[in-house]
Chains A and B, each alone.
Chain A
């Protein structure tokens, strides 16, 4: 079990390092986020989703997939603590 956990951690870590190469350089002015996406959000957020708060529109509508991931991360953190602490550290 422990060996499989280590294997999973190494594989996921290698995948993340491999995918990291596709991230644009920090502060690159030519990425989509810096060229037209932010402008589109600001201009169309109210008409698209009928909400006055642009942050909520981006969070729950344009980037809802990302927010679903965030909610899943919080859920996973809670379940991990539940498993580790409530069962006395035995998995």
Chain B
């Protein structure tokens, strides 16, 4: 891959801000536009940009394929696990207000919705990065 100082420097500078914005979109979904799906894609776009600028082998050293595979299932586990926890404490599946937290019911639901968003964000981020790795690595000539 051809070295390009401008692209690499700009990428190095902008990647943390993209990741921060992705986390903001995930966590701020409760009170403004945003959510797990959008934030996860923004977060993954930081890795994809890094992979485009520095090459796929360099990106693989930053976030391993093993991690993306595990994280993709971890997000769904978080989501379904919160739902199953609600069953364990005597509620319906995904009925968050049954969880025994020292908070009023609506606030528990809001809090658990945040965790669910985080789970969705982890899954979407991992799957987007994993798809990018799978499709890009075919063209890489070592």
Is B107 at the interface (CB under 8 A from chain A)?
yes
A68 / chain B contacts, CB cutoff of 8 Å: 76, 79-80, 83, 94
Q: How far is the CA of A63 from the CA of B52 in the complex (A)?
A: 37
Interface residues on A, range: 20 to 34
Is B42 at the interface (CB under 8 A from chain A)?
no
By secondary structure, the B interface counts as helix
Interface window among A6-14, A21-29, A32-40, A75-83? A75-83
Is B73 at the interface (CB under 8 A from chain A)?
yes
A69 to chain B, nearest CB (A): 10
Complex contact A61–B113 (CB within 8 A): yes
Complex contact B119–A59 (CB within 8 A): no
Complex contact B113–A60 (CB within 8 A): yes
Point out the residue from A61, A67, A79, A85 that lies within 8 Å of B138, measured CB to CB: A85
B132 to chain A, nearest CB (A): 10
Complex contact B106–A79 (CB within 8 A): no
Smallest CB-CB separation from B115: which chain A residue? A60
B36 / chain A contacts, CB cutoff of 8 Å: 71
Interface window among B2-10, B12-20, B24-32, B56-64? B24-32
Smallest CB-CB separation from A77: which chain B residue? B127
Is A86 at the interface (CB under 8 A from chain B)?
yes
Given A56-B117, A68-B83, A49-B109 contact (CB < 8 Å): yes
Is B51 at the interface (CB under 8 A from chain A)?
no
- For window 49-91 of A, CB contacts with B under 8 Å fall at 49-53, 55-57, 59-61, 64-65, 67-68, 70-72, 74-75, 77-79, 81-82, 85-86
Interface contacts beyond A56-B117, A71-B36: sample of 20 additional A-B pairs, CB < 8 Å, sorted by A: A48-B109, A49-B106, A51-B30, A52-B32, A56-B30, A56-B35, A56-B113, A59-B35, A64-B83, A67-B116, A70-B37, A70-B120, A71-B75, A71-B120, A75-B127, A77-B131, A78-B126, A78-B131, A81-B131, A82-B134
